[in-house]
């Protein structure tokens, strides 16, 4: 009997040992499996969640810290220019949150803004027009994409700006439901000056998420020089109202000495133009009179509302060669259309020309002008023109 109980006890211990060994082997197998498969996907997710530090922008992958080199092997590699574009958007976001600049950067989304945004439904693209920054060429790209022409070189110059015939609808021509379809959140606000009113006037939440959105900027003061030269000196034959209707009004109000009989002959001086642009209250009254002709010197913030519409790319005129190729690729149209050839040196920042134009302008007027365009300088990373201000 005693042997019988010893035998049963031994069997019990053997069973306990077997259960323990089996669980140990099973747990080890699970751990090995998770290490090989589950752990790998977890690491990849964590790498993808790492936010791009500003200090890495502009460096090649080989120059990035170890965690970024690890990420580049796990996700599609970002090019050097991807980092540049991302840094611009991060700067824009940071400046938009600056409370001291709110009145310069946050603009109600009115019909005036929606009039600036051209739509290419065929390829889901929205392009915000910022005059005097090479917009004619981008319009040619979109017209070509719509299929009316096989290449940008075939499009007549007079057709590009004929918005009744060029086949490029504006966002303002669409219903709120159609705008919703093209889907960044913003408020469509009609509490704006009368000359910009929308009809019917309403406040509506709209969405613009599904389309690729972009626009181009350049140094704000260089853009003003381009607008002045083109509209008041070089091109009055095609747009005579700038010289014959707008210039005399500015001269009468802002030239310190003039005779009405000499207005047409004298023409607008750049100093008069700067005084007009820097006069907050007086300019607003004149702008109502001038209507949409002022878009050539309106701020980028007023034109495209970049703090309220989430754009995918903001190109710079000074790096247009790189940005044009980047935009075509991001919009997935690089095989369908080419950006027109860019003459050598045309996009280069010309400090000498800026100094020459501003040489006759008082420091007081330059500072007032900078106050108005400070939002544009800050939003898009252009350095303060201290060589003019101090």
259 domain-assigned: yes
User: Higher model confidence: residue 184 or residue 293?
Assistant: 293
| φ and ψ of 389, to 5 deg | -80, -30
State what percent of residues in the chain have pLDDT above 70: 70
Mean of pLDDT values over 363-369: 97
9 domain-assigned: no
Instruction: Give me the domain span that covers residue 175.
Output: 104-384
User: Higher model confidence: residue 355 or residue 41?
Assistant: 355
- CA dihedral over 321, 87, 216, 298, signed as positive or negative: negative
- 80-127 pLDDT, tens digit each: 999 999 999 999 999 999 988 888 898 888 899 999 999 999 999 999
Calpha distance 17→12 (Å, rounded): 9
Residue 13: its pLDDT value, please? 55
167 domain-assigned: yes
- The owner of tokens 């920054």 is 133
194 domain-assigned: yes
159 domain-assigned: yes
Mean of pLDDT values over 152-172: 88
| Residue 58 scores a pLDDT above 70 | no
Mean of pLDDT values over 135-155: 91
Q: Give the total residue count for the chain.
A: 390
Strand order in the sheet with 117-120: 117-120, 125-128, 212-217, 313-316
The whole-model pTM stands at 0.74
Over the chain, what is the mean pLDDT? Answer: 78
286 domain-assigned: yes
Calpha distance 145→336 (Å, rounded): 7
Calpha distance 274→221 (Å, rounded): 10
- The 3-class secondary structure across the chain, one letter per residue, is CHHHHHHHHHHHHHHHHHHHHHHHHHHHHHHHHHHHHHHHHHHHHHHHHCCCCHHHCCCCHHHCCHHHHHHHHHCCCCCHHHHHHHHHHHHHHHHHCCHHHHHHHCCCECHHHHCCEEEEHHHCEEEECCCCCCHHHHHHHHHHHCCCCCCHHHCCHHHHCCCCCCCCCEHHHCCHHHHHHCCCCEEECCCCCHHHCCCCCCCEEECCCCCEEEEEECCHHHHHHHHHHHHHHHCCCCCCHHHHHHHHHHHHHHCCCCCHHHHHHHCCCHHHHHHHHHCHHHHHHHHHHHHHHHHHCCCHHHHHCCCCCCCCEEEEHHHHHHHHHHHHHHCCCCCCCCCCCCCCCCCCCCHHHHHHHHCCCCHHHHHHHHHHHHHHHHHCCCCCCHHHHC
Residue 368: its pLDDT value, please? 97
What is the count of structural domains for the chain? Answer: 1
328 domain-assigned: yes
Instruction: Give the pLDDT band (50/70/90) at residue 79.
Output: confident
Which range has highest mean pLDDT (26-30, 207-211, 236-240, 277-281)?
A: 277-281
Calpha distance 214→212 (Å, rounded): 7
Return the half-sphere exposure (C-beta side, CA atoms, 13 A cut-off) of residue 49. Answer: 6
Residue 163: its pLDDT value, please? 80
Cβ–Cβ < 8 Å for 272, 357: no
31 token code pair: 């751990």
- 202-223 pLDDT, tens digit each: 333 333 567 999 999 999 999 9
Cβ–Cβ < 8 Å for 156, 358: no
Calpha distance 89→83 (Å, rounded): 10
36 domain-assigned: no
Residue 162: its pLDDT value, please? 84
Residue 132: its pLDDT value, please? 93
């Amino acid at each position: 009997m005693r042997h019988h109980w010893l035998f049963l006890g031994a069997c019990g211990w053997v069973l306990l040992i077997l259960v323990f060994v089996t669980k140990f082997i099973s747990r080890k197998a699970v751990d090995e499996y998770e290490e090989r498969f589950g752990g790998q996907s977890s690491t990849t997710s964590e790498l993808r969640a790492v936010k791009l530090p500003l200090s890495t922008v502009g460096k090649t992958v080989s120059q990035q810290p170890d965690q970024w080199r690890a990420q580049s092997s796990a996700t599609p590699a970002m090019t050097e220019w991807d980092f540049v574009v991302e840094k611009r958007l991060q700067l824009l976001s940071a400046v938009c949150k600056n409370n001291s600049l709110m009145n310069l950067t946050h603009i109600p989304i009115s019909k005036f803004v929606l009039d600036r945004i051209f739509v290419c439904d065929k390829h889901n693209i929205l392009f915000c027009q910022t005059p005097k920054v090479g917009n004619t060429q981008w319009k040619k790209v979109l017209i070509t994409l719509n299929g009316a022409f096989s290449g940008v070189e075939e499009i007549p110059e007079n057709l590009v700006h004929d918005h009744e015939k060029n086949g490029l609808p504006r966002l303002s021509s669409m219903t709120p439901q159609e705008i919703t379809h093209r889907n960044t959140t913003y408020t469509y606000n009609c509490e704006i000056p009368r000359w910009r009113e929308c009809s019917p006037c309403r406040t509506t939440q709209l969405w613009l998420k599904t389309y690729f959105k972009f626009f181009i900027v350049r140094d704000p003061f260089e853009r003003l020089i381009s607008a002045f030269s083109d509209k008041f000196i070089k091109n009055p034959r095609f747009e005579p109202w700038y010289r014959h209707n707008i210039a005399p009004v500015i001269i009468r109000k802002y030239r310190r000495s003039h005779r009405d009989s000499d207005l047409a002959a004298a023409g607008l001086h750049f100093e008069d133009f700067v005084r007009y642009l820097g006069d907050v209250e007086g300019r607003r009254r004149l702008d109502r009179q001038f209507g949409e002709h002022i878009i050539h010197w309106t701020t980028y913030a007023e034109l495209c509302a970049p703090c309220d519409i989430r754009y995918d790319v903001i190109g710079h005129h000074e790096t247009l060669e790189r940005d044009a190729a980047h935009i075509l690729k991001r919009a997935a149209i690089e095989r369908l259309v080419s950006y027109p050839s860019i003459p050598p040196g045309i996009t280069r920042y010309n400090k000498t020309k800026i100094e020459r134009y501003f040489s006759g302008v008082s420091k007081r007027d330059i500072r007032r002008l900078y106050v108005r365009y400070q939002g544009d300088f800050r939003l898009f990373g252009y350095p303060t023109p201290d060589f003019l201000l101090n």
